[in-house]
Amino acid sequence: MVAAASVVVAVGTVTGTMSALEDGRGADAARPRATRATRADVRPAPAPPPPASAAPSSAVPAPQVSAGASGKPSPGPTGTRTRRAAPALPTRLYRHPGSQVLDWVRAHPGDPRTEVIASRIADQPAAVWFTDHDPGTIASRVRAVTAGAAAQDRVPVVVAYAIPGRDCGGASEGGAPGLPAYGGWIDRFAAGLGSGEVIVVLEPDAIAQSDCLSAADRAARFASLARAGRVLKAANPRARVYYDAGHSGWRAPAEQAALLRQAGAASPASSDGVFSNVSNFHRTADEIVYDRQVLDALGGPADLGAVIDTSRNGNGAPADGAWCDPAGRKLGRTPTLRTGEARIDAYLWVKLPGESDGCAGAPGAFTPSYAYDLAR
């Protein structure tokens, strides 16, 4: 079953993470839709991209290498390598100061919900989404996040979400106008990564949700993603790049691994592993089992790992498969780079809790009542 991972609206400013909207593809799937971003789109002015899908842009022109504009993706070398040690402390994850939830907390000091939302959501580090195709500013917007994190000696999490045809025409539809343009956007995105540790969540749903593409278009997309990973890691060897594994309620592990392999996720030249459960609700324990199965089937270096979005999975996925701001959900494990689990590199808040899927509030918009229900 297909789960929409990230309903997003491109937010033009450095504001938070993005949200995911389901496009009706899978009952228990939450996928990206164009809504607003919880994924902070670091840019001079806020705009609604898909942060829940927002995308930052960079300023350095780069060759327009089409993300998969040609032929089949060739997975790169798969020999062993030494994985970088995870940061020593969970607190090393970076909390970007520009997010919708922080804006709300600052603007509502007297609201009875503020203390709970501030302490349980706003104070936690979360991903910053870059969802709009704006090649002129993406490098500087990404750099603003990575430089801010470096100044605090912390690790930022950035989400690249601008692949053409993202969300298969769902709520988060959009992205770059074509794969050549996407290749240039990725080049500029990479230029903003700096030289410190950074986690890159590369294109939620781009692999798990690729059934809407023809075989040729799918191969082109996967080639583009393989190239994107190589470009990101070449620009910053300390960047950790993770590829879309969907979630435990979607594709079978071997099936997802076969797609991931075509997109370069088994190659140390482009990948550090996979991510799962973005904007979804599946329990962490289920995701751990699933991710390990995907990694086993994927092959590649033994040190490939997985990161899991735990932002809203405290009560697991609804039994009825509801994906749009379902009632009864709660916050999951707090973000950390020390999971204590083999092959699980981090628990992250990729989708910021409180940013709506489109039912409790406008897609991608921070909705205090929803945030309070998750946090209390």
274, 233 Cβ separation under 8 angstroms = no
Using DSSP's 3-state secondary structure scheme, residue 159 falls into: strand
Q: Write the CA distances from 184 to 61, 81, 189, 365, integer angstroms.
A: 7, 29, 9, 29
Q: DSSP string covering 309-321, please? A: E-TT-TT-S-TT-
What DSSP character marks residue 111?
A: -
Q: Rounded to an integer, what distance in angstroms lies between the CA atom of residue 186 and that of residue 192?
A: 10
The residues annotated as belonging to the active site are 167, 205, 357
343, 295 Cβ separation under 8 angstroms = yes
Residues in the chain: 376
The secondary element (H helix, E strand) that includes residue 197 is none
**What's the number of CA atoms in the CB half-sphere (13 Å) around residue 1?**
16
Q: Rounded to an integer, what distance in angstroms lies between the CA atom of residue 325 and that of residue 93?
A: 26
Q: Rounded to an integer, what distance in angstroms lies between the CA atom of residue 61 and that of residue 352?
A: 30
Residue in this structure with the two tokens 């971003």, named with its chain if needed: 37
Report CA 226 to chain centroid distance, whole Å.
16
Residue in this structure with the two tokens 């790992």, named with its chain if needed: 305
Q: Write the CA distances from 202 to 233, 300, 324, 354, integer angstroms.
A: 12, 18, 23, 22
Q: Rounded to an integer, what distance in angstroms lies between the CA atom of residue 185 and that of residue 67?
A: 10
Structure tokens at 233: 């890691």
Structure tokens at 177: 């106008």
* Amino acid in position 194: G
Report CA 304 to chain centroid distance, whole Å.
18
